[in-house]
Amino acid sequence: MGYHTPTNYSTHATEYENPVEQPIDTRHFDHKFGASQCTPTKFNGAPEFGTDEQKKRKYTVEKPPSHLLKHKSKRAVKPNRKLMSPFLSKQCSTERMDSRTADELYSYVMSISNEASLDAKWLQSSYLFRISLTLRNIQETIKIGSQMDSDSLNLAIRIMFQQEVERFQNTNYLGWRHFINQDFGMYAVAGDEFWEASHQLAHFTGPEVVYDVLDSHMILIPVHLLKHYVLYVFNMESKKVLVLDSLNTQDPLGESRFTRHDKIKIMVSRCVMECMRLAFPGWNKDILNWDFEAVENIPEQQNGDDCGFHVFNNMVNWDGLHLVNSTSQDPYYLRRQFLIHLLTLRDNEAILPEYVVHRLRHIKDN
């Protein structure tokens, strides 16, 4: 999928879940899915707002932004340092994993069926807020015909962010692109009483952001629109807002990729602008007057369920102009790659089965 997969896994392990629940041949799974078309609802108001846990999250910082800005020297990227695209780095070149091992892991994960095993936590990360995924959560996300789960996507973006910091720390590549999780877009689109800019500041100036977002060239934000995910990209250099939408150019409701986002682009842009101005006093760019482009010639979903997985791949591979690595549109492939990415979580606070840890170590880049 064009994204680096670490091979040094610092994770807990247990013995195999159950001798009966060993890997089975992936051919037992139906990797194809019908081509039912996604039909998003027209936006007459805010989309359905997230889980109770998401409603409680506030991405606040303990001290005001002005305090954080006084200590830029502590950050991994110095102010005014010219940043470079990480896609120019060898570490961002096309890298492939062992497909056979990936198939075996997918088959193993999907083969487990006893209730105790399904309710076991497999992945947990508590910084800045806790995200926990049980085996059941993972199965429900990656099974063919399923849609992306918000916690799974948020964890995947957290892993993406952590790997970016680990790979490019103390280089001019770190901070060129900035990933924000899907909660931001959820609050932005919900608006009204759900939106409070001060509660979202940690996306821009939080303690885990070890570079200066003020210098970032791109800010990438997934947005969930009534069972349909899209990716918004704010190009801070060219002053342009892009949307990467995997739904067909012309959907059954007669809306194009461009007109589909008439209202949403304003809502999300206004919230990004509000947070940037609050986080970085003196920043005064007017995003609402930037050009807007609905990117064409990108992989299109083949059904009504794969949009979230396309958003994930687009976040990984968008270099500002195009997708640098071609990705399959096959529903099975999309979910298999997403699963492997989730399992690469560093400092996992939960326990993975020994078999999973063992197979992860066998995934090698070419």
pLDDT in tens, 155-187: 999 999 999 999 999 999 999 999 999 999 999
Tokens at 192, concatenated: 């009204």
Q: Give me the number of domains the chain comprises.
A: 1
The whole-number pLDDT of residue 48 equals 54
* Cβ-contact 249, 256 below 8 angstroms: yes
The average confidence (pLDDT) of the chain is 82
The one-letter amino acid code at 13 reads: A
Q: Is residue 41 part of a domain?
A: no
pLDDT above 90: residue 62: no
Dihedral (Cα; 205, 208, 211, 214), 10-degree rounding: -20
DSSP 184-209: HHHHHHH-GGG--GGGGTHHHH-TT-
The whole-number pLDDT of residue 92 equals 67
pLDDT above 60: residue 291: yes
Q: Is residue 84 part of a domain?
A: yes
pLDDT band at 54, cuts 50/70/90? low
Residue corresponding to tokens 């609802």: 41
Backbone Cα Rg of the chain? 20
Q: How far apart are the first and last CA of the chain?
A: 13
pLDDT above 50: residue 109: yes
pLDDT band at 82, cuts 50/70/90? confident
Distances from the Cα of 311 to the Cα of 23, 115, 264, 334, angstroms: 29, 31, 16, 11
CA angle, 315 then 187 then 259, to 5°:
65
Tens digit of each residue's pLDDT (9 = 90 or more) over 122-143? 999 998 899 999 999 999 999 9
- Range with the poorest average pLDDT among 9-18, 163-172, 255-264, 265-274: 9-18
Q: Is residue 246 part of a domain?
A: yes
User: For residues 105 and 17, which has the higher predicted lDDT (pLDDT)?
Assistant: 105
The whole-number pLDDT of residue 249 equals 63
DSSP 256: B
- Range with the poorest average pLDDT among 76-85, 152-161, 299-308, 331-340: 76-85
Q: Is residue 219 part of a domain?
A: yes
Domain span at residue 17 reads 12-24+57-360
The structure's pTM equals: 0.80
Q: Is residue 139 part of a domain?
A: yes
User: Count of CB atoms within 10 A of residue 175's CB?
Assistant: 25
pLDDT above 60: residue 100: yes
Pairing of strands 240-244, 229-235: antiparallel
DSSP 248: -
Q: Is residue 151 part of a domain?
A: yes
pLDDT > 70 fraction of the chain, expressed in percent and rounded: 73
Distance, CA of 315 to CA of 178 (rounded, Å): 10
Distance, CA of 323 to CA of 219 (rounded, Å): 16
* Cβ-contact 34, 245 below 8 angstroms: no
DSSP 54-97: HHH-----SS-HHHHHTTGGGSSS-TTPPP--GGGSGGGS----
Distances from the Cα of 211 to the Cα of 176, 222, 332, angstroms: 9, 21, 36
User: For residues 136 and 53, which has the higher predicted lDDT (pLDDT)?
Assistant: 136
Domain at 299, CATH number: 3.40.395.10
* Cβ-contact 190, 224 below 8 angstroms: no
Q: Is residue 285 part of a domain?
A: yes
Q: Is residue 29 part of a domain?
A: no
DSSP 323-358: BSS-----HHHHHHHHHHHHHT-TT-SSEEEHHHHH
